[in-house]
Amino acid sequence: MAGLRPLLMPFLFAAALVSAEAQTKVVGVLTPLSGRHENLGKQLLEGAKAAIATHNLANPGNRVQLEFRDSKCEVDAALKEEAALRKAGAEILVGPMCNRPLIALLDRKASEILPTLVAFQRDKRLEDGRKKNGWPIYTLEPEAKAEPQAIVKFLLNRWSETPYAILDDGSVYGRGLADDIQGLAEARGQSPVALANFRPLQTSQAHVLRRLAKSGIKAIYVAGDAEDVSVFAKDAIRLGLELEVAGGEPLALLPFIDGLEQVPEGILAILQTQAVSLPKAEALIDRMAKAKIKVDGAFLRGMALTQIAIGTLNGGKVELSGKYDTVLGSIEFKQDGRADILPLELFVWRNGKFEPQSQLTQ
């Protein structure tokens, strides 16, 4: 037998490699790396890479592999690339952030869906899908009704003596949010002076503002994309209107769109507490700054979600339960699949970024 060992060594070595590869766990990242939201997706991916690198450095005998693909925020691309991640051995999915592709990924039997950790998503359909269909989906974002409640709490307190209007872009998100805000506002006796629809992603919304100005409004809430809110703010200045312009969570994308230098100061936004201000995140940012690596909310979400994903891969079956130690602190998911660790606050756009302004309305 000893004489056979040299002959068997190549085969033994190859078998060892196969065994090691079979034991390697794979985390899949599916996020937009091109198109409108590529900057956000790329930052999320960098956070995921940081989580994997940190884990593998500390656990050389229990390494985790990262596979990533570009969803392009498109349904067909997302479905194709998710299949590619499955083929690459991914047992859990991190990063889908675009609504339609995400719903398309989930539109199948629960047993056919990879456990999915999503970013920047709180569509009520996700919660309903978990309850009715058993979708294995989890998010760091608070529930859908949290946004209109925060808008009423912060903005309508601020506008208690201000005539305001609610505008929506006609989308499921925009129309639904506008309806929710109106219902809550009417319940407290603070109905909007006007309601209006607008066509999204136009270069000018001056005609909408001229029509609304006749009603004497002094503030508007725009339920639409970051680009739309910016256009309304620019047109208000161009028309000489003294108008406070506000929007919701889509404004989190404002720092990532082109033409930042043209975005007017003073835009108000209801956003989640800045992840970069949390204790563990601040320590990471200091370390990354020395390495000249920029860290933002998308990076931190990507890192936290991937840290959670790694924590689920210890056994033969991926299950999310208990608490996970992450860069955003200890995270535990509730029955509805939400962690809700980053509450909503009021921010104002100044010097190319959003600064917290909640104290102005307390």
Alpha-carbon span 232 to 243, nearest angstrom:
10
Q: What is the pLDDT along the chain (362 residues), one digit of tens a residue?
A: 444 344 444 433 443 444 444 467 999 999 999 988 888 899 999 999 999 999 999 998 889 999 999 999 999 999 999 999 999 999 999 998 888 899 999 988 888 899 999 988 877 788 888 889 889 999 988 887 888 999 999 999 999 999 999 999 999 889 999 999 999 999 999 999 999 999 998 999 999 999 999 999 999 999 999 999 999 999 999 999 999 999 998 888 788 777 767 899 999 999 888 766 666 777 777 777 777 777 777 888 999 999 999 988 866 566 777 889 898 888 898 888 888 677 888 999 998 888 888 544 44
Residues 6+ apart with CB under 8 A from 188: 152, 156
| Residue 137 burial (CB count, 10 A) | 25
pLDDT of the residue at 315: 60
Alpha-carbon span 235 to 233, nearest angstrom:
6
Contacts 24+ apart (CB under 8 A), 122-129: 122/146, 122/147, 122/249, 122/338, 123/99, 123/173, 126/102, 126/337, 127/336, 127/337, 127/338
Helix axes of 279-290 and 297-311: crossing angle, nearest 10 degrees? 110
353: DSSP letter:
E
Residues 6+ apart with CB under 8 A from 142: 122, 272, 338, 340, 342, 343, 344
pLDDT of the residue at 88: 95
Q: Are 348 and 263 in contact (CB under 8 A)?
A: no
pLDDT of the residue at 23: 61
| Residue 63 burial (CB count, 10 A) | 14
Reduced DSSP (H G I as helix, E B as strand, rest coil) percent helix, strand, coil of the chain, to 5: 50, 20, 35
Comparing CA positions, the residue from 154, 145, 120 lying closest to residue 356 is 154
